[in-house]
Chains A and B, each alone.
Chain A
Amino acid sequence: MASANSKKINLKLKVWRQKTREDAGRFEEISAQEIPVDASFLEMMDIVNNRLIKEGRDPIAFDHDCREGICGSCSMVINGNPHGPERGTATCQLHMRKFHDAQEIVVEPFRATAFPVIKDLSVDRTAFDRIIAAGGYVSVNTGNAPDANALPVPKEKADDAFNSATCIGCGACVAACANSSAMLFVSAKVNHLAVLPQGEPERERRVLRMMQTMEDSGFGNCSNTGACSLACPKEISFENIARMNAEYMKASIKRRD
């Protein structure tokens, strides 16, 4: 939290308010007064909400959890960009020093058919859970844990898998994509497991099932704009999508069922 003597700014928020899933929703202008520049964006929202509660008004609903950039809970589209203007930064790690005094900030929820708004800025991202359940796992035998490093994995492959595995599943890729496609998310999960020996047994059915679930969930189709990668707080590479395209083609040709 910001120290007591840090510089403070006043902001004009234009926040999306929507009472329920069915509600049409609208923008509401809310002032954010005396915001320390060292506060994070979520802390600024907390300050605003405290005031709204004191005034007997409904606080702004938004998702958050770890507040250290690893859980993928925080969302929000800030002035047109998911997670705000900074590259490689989640909303929780975006600081108010990136804004200036008297600035207007438009805050919207992630918008996609597959991510229906629950309330205000909080959206339902269970479509991602369905995609993971469709194939984003490896099956292991029960019993004692295997010895660490019993299965050799080349360093390059481990690094490659880890780069894809840094995806926190926040959904910014979907929010930024002109087509609301979830290809960056799905491809990060597919490639993470496709390069590791542990992922090999389910490799082909994984990509087919995860893609099928993505399509069934109402996400759009990828048109390679790369907006997903630019918006990603973990800077997951667009390369994942290209590799999954090849992976999907191979799996489609090889399938025997």
Chain B
Amino acid sequence: MQKSLSYLSSAIGRKQLMAITGLVWSGFVLTHMAANLLIPFSAELYNKYSHALITNPAIYLAEGLLVLTLLVHIANGVKLTLENRGARPQKYAMGTNGSKAPRFQSTWMIFHGSLLAVFLIWHLLTFKFGTDYQIVYDGVQMRDLHRLVIEIFAQPAYVIGYALCMVGVGLHLSHGFYSSFATLGFYHPRYSPMIQGLGYLYSFVVAAGFIIPPLYVLMTKAN
């Protein structure tokens, strides 16, 4: 037991924990984004989907897994960042630049990561714990989440803030996706550029997919 604990507390073990928990959330945001695309199409479909989701007993398991992986990801990320800062107490007068500079999103993970943590609380307060409108479809009473979504996304300031946070999601994923594979040891000169390309495509699709519904609502439902 002592040894397995030492793996989880090692530099590589903790990095792999970041990768696995990050990949769990990468899967979650993709399904969340896909569900959000129902918003412009049908209030009924969207409400029925969210009703089916929250009435499924497996939701508790899924939510438990998401909360646990998120806490591990955040706690680990903060601890690693603090350690990394301690590894260079004296900063350089000039940073790496030109052809030797790494992609900026990779060195800013803690910044967009922190933004996302704040966003998540804001997001849960707005929607999950927001106004509980009710509606009846086919004799079944359920939450009218769509009404709340339309109400919120009709506010331009909210949509701007939301869109900026989604750009943060895209940046975080664009490094995190590819990085997770490398951390877990998947690297091959032929396939890794494809994984990186796929990571960029995936992060763009996720960010764009999250931004489209609020923009649509703002343009069609405002006033």
A→B interface (CB under 8 Å): 14, 27, 77, 79-82, 85, 87, 106, 108, 111-114, 176, 178-181, 183, 211-212, 214-215, 218-227, 230-231, 238-239, 241-249, 252-253, 255, 257
Contacts and interface: CB of A to CB of B under 8 A. Distances in A.
Nearest to A229: B102
Given A85-B100, A249-B185, A214 B94 contact: no
6 contacts: A180-B88, A225-B107, A227-B102, A241-B182, A245-B185, A248-B12
Helix, strand, loop or mixed for chain A's interface?
mixed
Interface of B: 3-4, 7, 10-16, 80, 83-84, 86-103, 106-107, 109, 175, 178-179, 181-189, 192
Contacts of A239: 187-189, 192
A32 to B, nearest CB: 18
Helix, strand, loop or mixed for chain B's interface?
helix
Contacts, number: 155
A221 B183 contact: no
A242 B182 contact: yes
Contact of B94 (A80, A180, A227): A80
B102 A245 contact: no
Contacts of B13: 248-249, 252
Nearest to B104: A225
- Among B7, B10, B182, B184, find the residue whose CB has the most chain A CB atoms closer than 10 A: B182
- Considering the complex of A and B, which 3 residue pairs feature the smallest CB-CB distances, nearest first? A246-B185, A242-B187, A80-B94
Contacts of A225: 102-103, 106-107
B185 A242 contact: yes
Contact of B84 (A223, A227, A231, A255): A223
Given A219-B87, A226-B103, 5 more contacts: A80-B92, A112-B87, A221-B84, A224-B179, A225-B106
Contacts of B106: 223-226
A181 B87 contact: yes
A90 to B, nearest CB: 13
A231 B89 contact: no
Contact of A222 (B11, B89, B95): B11
B95 A221 contact: no
B15 A230 contact: no
Contacts of A222: 11, 15
B92 A77 contact: yes
B10 A179 contact: no
Contacts of B96: 80-82, 176, 227, 230-231
Contacts of B100: 81-82, 85, 87, 176, 227, 230-231
A114 B11 CA distance: 16
Contacts of A218: 86-87
- Among B13, B86, B100, find the residue whose CB has the most chain A CB atoms closer than 10 A: B100
A230 B16 contact: no
A176 B7 CA distance: 27
B3 A221 contact: no
Given A79-B97, A85-B100, A231-B100, A111 B90 contact: yes
Nearest to B93: A106
A223 B99 contact: no
Contacts of A243: 185, 187
